[in-house]
A and B are shown apart, each in its own frame.
Chain A
Amino acid sequence: MTRDETAAAAAAKPAKAAKPAKPAKAAKPAGRSSGDPLRPADYIGSDEEAPAKPARTARADTAGADDAPTAAKLNPLEWVRFFWRQLTSMRTALVLLLLLALAAVPGSLVPQRSADPNGVIQYQQQNPELSKVLDALQVFDTYTSFWFSAIYLLLFVSLIGCIIPRTTHHLKALRTKPPTTPARLSRLAAHLQTTADATPETAIDEAAKLLKRQGYRVERYDRRGRVSVSAERGYLRETGNLVFHTGLLLILLLVAVGGGFIYTGEKLLVQGQSFTNTLSSYDTWSPGRFFDESQLNPYSLRLDGFDDKYSVDKLTGVSHPEDYTAKVSTRSLDGTWTKQEIKVNEPLAVGGTQVYLLGNGYAPVLKVTDADGNVVFDDAVPFRSQDSNLKGLGVLKVPDGLKKQAGFIGFFYPTPVETTTGGFESVYPGTSSSSLVSLQMYVGDLGLDTGAPVNAYDLDLDKLTQVAGRDSDTDTLQMRLGEKATLPEGLGTIEFTGIKRYIGVSIHHDPVQGYVLALAVISILGLLISLFIPRRRVWVAATTGEDGGAVLEYAALARGDDPRLDDAVLDIEKQLAKRLRARAREAGDGAAS
């Protein structure tokens, strides 16, 4: 529906739109002056103005006309007030909410730099023209984009504009007595009339006691010929509402400010290696705005071993992981190592950080020997896992020792099976003596001498020539565990001597997330209270009837959604009748004895 159509639809039934405000109109003669003057004018609970100005509900965008009959008469301050009222109206908040939902969608359709930087690059390569437009519109950074930020900032300003007056109003209401009993209760929404065999005073005394016990705040309003009790309950509803919205506001503030103190880094850790929590040790590193290196708590973390467990589907032969456990040791500055474990859902808390297990794989131990038999390299080389059977992709750089700078790139297959094309695939994530390393070899300039930072897991082929592999005369170097291969051009040998595990860990420091959680829990409680606790006013009035008994009138008014209002009135009537009967019985017994 277009805006005009919806406006027309709304205009077509102004009676219906104004209806919920009807009870309030009835309450007005009761002298209820407190009202909700500080609520947005288009809030359904803000009863005073609504019946007088049905035009506001009928037309969507003319609300301002009430404040300013003609725009020319507005001075700057009035303009500010006009915009403030517009911004803090329910309608604006609602539209902003819906816009927020809509604006969040593109971020799920297009890869995001924050979550999937490689996906963004891939997307840009596939859609170069579209990407330029999307990039200009910050769609690759949807959740930090100017438009997304604008919507939620406006929403939160609107929220502040709503919370502050409502809080002051609510604080006042908490200290205010229930309003005087309306003269004509029969005009109220839920109304009930009965008679009772008691004096009006007794009946109202009992009614007041009953209502008090039911959690109402009560106030007697006795006039000549008519005694009454006015009661109100459900103040918690508004309290919960305010707590919820304030909680949301604080969460946003906390995330915005506290986010500056967060740091995250990633590290690939090979079995036996230890990592020290210093800036230079991380593979990747992203600090918050207010990060200071002194925040880093220098602890050490060592990978001692890695256990994994798989089950194999009997029919398909597919293996499913059942468990990953990284056995690690940690050491704080005092110097003793402590054995600990990290699992996928059980991060390790150490030195004010949380260490998460993100990935794992194999690091074959490779030994490179020059032509004279001198060992020039002997270490575990992590081959990054490429699939669920842990086929790994690895790079080995040997800049010194051999006659030429040499680089190796290739795969590790824990359980290799030859494919029809002559290549290999891994069919199971476990290793054995048949585990295979298959390497292509390059010689030339590795690009390590310029001093510029180089990705250790990538081989820059620009100044390298392949000497072993598909594009050269020598075959790809292939070694089962324990085997040795001869390097081409008489450069020496390479030997696959052992297999170690590696893990990828992510290390986080977030000093505010505990507070965010606490606020979230408080907010939820506030929300539940505001949704499920009804706020209502109840009046019971009594006059003397023709037969000398009391004529009792009950009436109730819902403030906000209260589907059980009628039941509540019926219940009060029933309970009061019971009490009065009991009391009459007691009085009768007393008189008899």
Chain B
Amino acid sequence: MDSDSLATLSLVAVYSAIAVYVLAFIAFVLDLSARSAQAQRLDSERAARAADAVGADAHSGQLAKAGAAVRGAAAGATAATAAVLERASGAGRGADDDDEVNIGSRWQRTGLALTIIAWLIHAAAIVLRGLAAGRVPWANMFEFAMTGTGIMVTVFLAVQLWRDLRFLGAYVTGIVALLLGLATVNFYVAVTPLPPPLQSAWLVIHVFVATLGTGFFAVGAGLSIMQLLQVKREEGGAKRIPFLRTLPSSEALESMAYRVLVVGFAFWTFTLIAGAIWAERAWGRYWGWDTKEVWTFVIWVVFAGYIHARATKGWRGSRAAYLAIIGFAAVLFNFTIVNLFFKGLHSYSGLDTGM
């Protein structure tokens, strides 16, 4: 098959993937609304259970409040295997261990299945585009959006193996469908050969790692948003979003967000350094405060601030979460507004043929 028909096939796959992402999004939204209904039922059940559990364990009230997972047998047992791990497991063991936390409806299975299908089509689109171009499929803005959102979904799906984060499904599929749709409609360009400035191994490394970092930031920011909402609920607010009741505690969400964001930060740091090395090769200076460099730096500093906030009294918790969200907003700003409207050396959107 020649390059043109491969590219056309890739475009068809992109549109199909968008359609399936939208379906997945709908399923995840239905899940959230089903969770809301479930939450009310759980609340009444829990009240009943709490009555039974009185006096069983001095810590249980405290632990339940912290969204803790109590594993092993109850306290006071003398059996050789009796083990009590009396700690609020900050990471939250997820739905598997604690039947009170993070129970979705059958819609979330549908949502995840649809996401996986969309992801497979999406991956096919990326591979076809790469074959059509005979190079890595991230050399202009459309391709970067296509691959970047693909990586975002990959990170989201991979994280499911670690923790059940399907409650973020609506957020992730929503963002991906939107970004991919906008990029395809507005920024689509035909396959072009790699311009000499991009002919470098660093294109493969620098840009790919940047998209990986973006994927982790997206998932982390989603967790931080949920964390902020959960804090509100735990303080007695957010009555209109009952599905929060079925999500992990704000502390568990914060801990998960931190672990995801830290990985993103490591990738972003690497992006920064790799970009500097490439800039030295291509432009003859490793740092020149080009607009893209400025924003990469700003994002890096914001997430560095996030990590420090997590270690600063009075900043851990909601303030840190705001920083994470601001950081991801800056990532999106960097990708969209900066690429399109800011003048700089990173003008590889492929949209301005005069360049």
Whether both chains belong to one complex is answered with yes
Q: Which residues of A approach B to under 8 Å, CB–CB?
A: 1, 6, 9-10, 13, 16-18, 20-21, 42-45, 50, 56-58, 60, 90-91, 93-94, 97-98, 100-101, 104-105, 107-109, 111-112, 114-116, 119, 142-143, 186, 189-196, 264, 311, 313, 315-316, 318, 320-324, 343-347, 354, 356, 358, 387-388, 506, 508, 513, 516-517, 520-521, 524, 527-528, 531-532, 549, 560-561, 563-566, 569-570, 573
The answer to whether B317 and A16 touch across the interface, beta carbons within 8 angstroms, is yes
The answer to whether B196 and A323 touch across the interface, beta carbons within 8 angstroms, is yes
Per the 8 Å Cβ criterion, residues 290-308 of B in contact with A are 290-291, 294-295, 297-298, 301-302, 304-305, 307-308
Assembled-state Cα–Cα distance A388/B192 (Å): 14
- Selected from A101, A143, A356, A560, the residue in CB contact (under 8 A) with B298 is A101
Given A44-B316, A388-B354, CB of A517 within 8 Å of CB of B91: no
Interface locus among B8-16, B40-48, B101-109, B277-285? B277-285
The answer to whether B315 and A94 touch across the interface, beta carbons within 8 angstroms, is yes
Q: Which residues of A contact B290 (CB under 8 A)?
A: 115
Q: Can you name 18 A-B pairs with beta carbons within 8 Å?
A: A9-B318, A44-B313, A60-B314, A90-B308, A90-B312, A97-B305, A108-B295, A115-B288, A194-B81, A320-B192, A320-B195, A321-B196, A345-B278, A506-B284, A513-B280, A524-B273, A532-B266, A561-B258
Most buried by A among B87, B89, B283, B316: B87
Assembled-state Cα–Cα distance A192/B71 (Å): 11
Q: Which residues of A contact B283 (CB under 8 A)?
A: 356
B193 touches A (CB below 8 Å) = yes
Given A345-B196, A528-B266, CB of A194 within 8 Å of CB of B298: no
Given A44-B312, A345-B196, CB of A191 within 8 Å of CB of B84: yes
The answer to whether B84 and A192 touch across the interface, beta carbons within 8 angstroms, is yes
The answer to whether A91 and B284 touch across the interface, beta carbons within 8 angstroms, is no
Assembled-state Cα–Cα distance A563/B91 (Å): 6
How far does the Cβ of B244 sit from chain A's closest Cβ, in whole Å? 18
Q: Which residues of A contact B313 (CB under 8 A)?
A: 17-18, 21, 42-44, 50, 56-57, 90-91
Beyond known contacts A345-B196, A532-B266: 13 more, CB 8 A cutoff: A10-B319, A17-B317, A57-B313, A91-B313, A93-B308, A94-B308, A108-B342, A112-B289, A313-B192, A345-B200, A513-B286, A528-B266, A566-B89
Q: Which residues of B contact A93 (CB under 8 A)?
A: 308
Q: Which residues of B contact A114 (CB under 8 A)?
A: 288-289
Q: Which residues of A contact B316 (CB under 8 A)?
A: 17, 20, 44
Q: Which residues of A contact B265 (CB under 8 A)?
A: 531
Q: Which residues of B contact A18 (CB under 8 A)?
A: 313
Q: Which residue of B lies closest to A43 (CB)?
A: B311
Assembled-state Cα–Cα distance A13/B313 (Å): 12
- Selected from A6, A101, A112, the residue in CB contact (under 8 A) with B302 is A101
How far does the Cβ of A396 sit from chain B's closest Cβ, in whole Å? 26
Q: Which residues of A contact B318 (CB under 8 A)?
A: 9
Q: Which residues of B contact A44 (CB under 8 A)?
A: 310-313, 316
Per the 8 Å Cβ criterion, residues 181-217 of B in contact with A are 190, 192-197, 199-200, 202
How far does the Cβ of B335 sit from chain A's closest Cβ, in whole Å? 14
Q: Which 10 A-B pairs have CB atoms at the shortest separation, nearest pair first?
A: A356-B284, A101-B301, A344-B196, A108-B294, A90-B312, A345-B200, A57-B313, A563-B91, A108-B291, A195-B80
Assembled-state Cα–Cα distance A1/B82 (Å): 48
- Selected from A6, A16, A142, A566, the residue in CB contact (under 8 A) with B87 is A566
B85 touches A (CB below 8 Å) = yes
Interface size on B, residues (CB 8 A): 75
Assembled-state Cα–Cα distance A311/B190 (Å): 13
B90 touches A (CB below 8 Å) = yes
Given A17-B317, A100-B301, CB of A322 within 8 Å of CB of B286: no
The answer to whether A343 and B314 touch across the interface, beta carbons within 8 angstroms, is no
Assembled-state Cα–Cα distance A569/B305 (Å): 31
- Selected from B193, B235, B269, the residue in CB contact (under 8 A) with A527 is B269
Most buried by A among B83, B262, B344: B83
The answer to whether B294 and A194 touch across the interface, beta carbons within 8 angstroms, is no
Assembled-state Cα–Cα distance A238/B86 (Å): 27
Assembled-state Cα–Cα distance A561/B91 (Å): 11
Q: Which residues of B contact A524 (CB under 8 A)?
A: 269-270, 273
Assembled-state Cα–Cα distance A343/B195 (Å): 12
B120 touches A (CB below 8 Å) = no
The answer to whether A322 and B284 touch across the interface, beta carbons within 8 angstroms, is no
The answer to whether A560 and B311 touch across the interface, beta carbons within 8 angstroms, is yes
The answer to whether B294 and A191 touch across the interface, beta carbons within 8 angstroms, is no
Q: Which residues of B contact A346 (CB under 8 A)?
A: 281
The answer to whether B281 and A345 touch across the interface, beta carbons within 8 angstroms, is yes
B276 touches A (CB below 8 Å) = yes
Q: Which residue of A lies closest to B290 (CB)?
A: A115
Q: Which residues of A contact B51 (CB under 8 A)?
A: none
Assembled-state Cα–Cα distance A322/B197 (Å): 10
B255 touches A (CB below 8 Å) = yes
The answer to whether B190 and A313 touch across the interface, beta carbons within 8 angstroms, is yes
Assembled-state Cα–Cα distance A387/B304 (Å): 41
How far does the Cβ of A29 sit from chain B's closest Cβ, in whole Å? 17
How far does the Cβ of B257 sit from chain A's closest Cβ, in whole Å? 11
Q: Which residues of A contact B307 (CB under 8 A)?
A: 531
Assembled-state Cα–Cα distance A186/B81 (Å): 17
B117 touches A (CB below 8 Å) = no
- Selected from A45, A56, A506, the residue in CB contact (under 8 A) with B311 is A45
B161 touches A (CB below 8 Å) = no
The answer to whether B83 and A105 touch across the interface, beta carbons within 8 angstroms, is no
Assembled-state Cα–Cα distance A320/B199 (Å): 13
Q: Which residues of B contact A109 (CB under 8 A)?
A: 342
Most buried by A among B283, B314, B322: B314
How far does the Cβ of B86 sit from chain A's closest Cβ, in whole Å? 5
Q: Which residues of B contact A9 (CB under 8 A)?
A: 318
How far does the Cβ of B181 sit from chain A's closest Cβ, in whole Å? 23
How far does the Cβ of B172 sit from chain A's closest Cβ, in whole Å? 22
Assembled-state Cα–Cα distance A530/B342 (Å): 35
The answer to whether A97 and B301 touch across the interface, beta carbons within 8 angstroms, is yes
Most buried by B among A119, A345, A528: A345
Q: Which residue of A lies closest to B258 (CB)?
A: A561
Q: Which residue of A lies closest to B286 (CB)?
A: A513
Q: Which residue of A lies closest to B338 (CB)?
A: A108
B355 touches A (CB below 8 Å) = yes
- Selected from B83, B235, B309, B319, the residue in CB contact (under 8 A) with A573 is B83
The answer to whether A508 and B314 touch across the interface, beta carbons within 8 angstroms, is no
The answer to whether A388 and B266 touch across the interface, beta carbons within 8 angstroms, is no
Q: Which residues of A contact B343 (CB under 8 A)?
A: 111, 116, 119
How far does the Cβ of A242 sit from chain B's closest Cβ, in whole Å? 14
Q: Which residues of A contact B344 (CB under 8 A)?
A: 108
The answer to whether A344 and B289 touch across the interface, beta carbons within 8 angstroms, is no
Q: Which residues of B contact A196 (CB under 8 A)?
A: 80
How far does the Cβ of B273 sit from chain A's closest Cβ, in whole Å? 5
Assembled-state Cα–Cα distance A1/B196 (Å): 47
The answer to whether B319 and A6 touch across the interface, beta carbons within 8 angstroms, is yes
- Selected from B255, B273, B294, the residue in CB contact (under 8 A) with A105 is B294
Q: Which residues of B contact A549 (CB under 8 A)?
A: 80
The answer to whether B286 and A194 touch across the interface, beta carbons within 8 angstroms, is no
Write out, one digit per residue, whether chain B residues 258-277 have a CB within 8 A of any chain A CB (1) or not (0). 11001001100110010011
The answer to whether B294 and A107 touch across the interface, beta carbons within 8 angstroms, is yes
Assembled-state Cα–Cα distance A42/B270 (Å): 29
Q: Which residues of B contact A17 (CB under 8 A)?
A: 313-314, 316-317
- Selected from B193, B277, B319, the residue in CB contact (under 8 A) with A311 is B193
The answer to whether B309 and A104 touch across the interface, beta carbons within 8 angstroms, is no
Q: Which residue of B lies closest to A187 (CB)?
A: B86
